[in-house]
Homo-oligomer: A and B are copies of this chain.
Amino acid sequence: MTTSLVPPSAGGPSADAPPALGRASALMAPAMDAATERLDPSLHDAVRHHLAGGGKHVRAGLVLLASSAVGGTHEDSVLGAVAVELVHNYSLLHDDIIDGDRERRHRPTVWARYGVGVAIVVGDALAALAMQLLLDDPTPRRVRAAQVLADANQNMIGGQSADMAFEGRAAVGVEECLAMERGKTGALLSAACAMGGALGGGTEQQVGLLAAYGDNLGIAFQAVDDLLGIWGEPARTGKPVGADLMARKKTLPVSVAMAAGGEGAAELEAILGRELSDADVARATALIEASGARDEVAALADDHLQAALAALDEAELLAAPKEELMAVARYVTARDR
């Protein structure tokens, strides 16, 4: 077949995103296209449908920037960029089934359009393809990247599984919640940076510090996401007000507020133990704010952003890509997004 699996309308980062993400989208597109052509033809329609939804390609951008930052070229790292986006997309496909989400990026999700079975196998195919890409011609750098990606995939799955287990619990500790978010979000961001460092030929120390940058960035991103899930403007977040509370998610602000104890925590736990009315959502929001959790989580996000930037400083990176990594960090943790 000659038609592209990734149509020209495939989106990519929005206009306010750091230029590095747009460059990553453009660099990655032909390689993603060539990779997905390898899949069984019976999978092509659903893969095309899913990838046409676009995305910000933050993880691909991180691979390419991390590689550049240690003096690497795009030749090897573009494979890593495709691999990490494949793993990200497989997780979206499966998460959409698990969460029962019928829409993503204003389009029907794969399970909603093609059925649960198709969405499962398409996700499985993308995950397998990521490993195939890195192992086709297994240079030591690619093997290292494959190793990092396999571990990150497992940590991501652990985070997703913990998140699901939390739904059935009345309260979740702050440390547990952080560990879950570190897995669910931080693992793949961290892996993207470490893979870029490895594929670009960085030292083990540089790879470790780039991984630390990605890990901290993941926590900061998730903390901001949790704040926006409660206090974000629906017009910007694309979710109704208080969507996370309505779904009784044990996010960081909730776990911090509950850890504060006292009457407020008890009332919050009671509210989150039942189906929430709009009044319940408003009351829970007020309780969390009154506990100081909103400020505390914002401070936690800032601390992790600073830790991410400090890891970059320590890694002795090339100046220009380092600046771009800093810009990406500020972009994905911006509270007005």
A residues in contact (CB < 8 Å) with B: 38-40, 42-43, 94, 97-98, 116-118, 120-125, 127-129, 131-132, 135-136, 138, 143-144, 146-147, 150-151, 153-154, 157-162, 164-165, 183
Contacts and interface: CB of A to CB of B under 8 A. Distances in A.
Nearest 6 CB-CB pairs, A to B? A40-B158, A98-B117, A131-B150, A42-B165, A135-B147, A128-B153
A131 B157 contact: no
Contacts of A42: 158, 161-162, 164-165
Copies in the complex: 2
B128 A150 contact: yes
B132 A154 contact: yes
Contacts of A165: 42
A162 B42 CA distance: 6
Given A117-B97, A120-B98, A147-B136, A161 B131 contact: no
Given A121-B160, A164-B42, A143 B138 contact: yes
Given A42-B164, A158-B39, A165-B42, A150 B125 contact: no
Contacts of A151: 132
Contacts of A120: 94, 97-98, 120
A40 B161 contact: yes
Contacts of A183: 40
A249 to B, nearest CB: 15
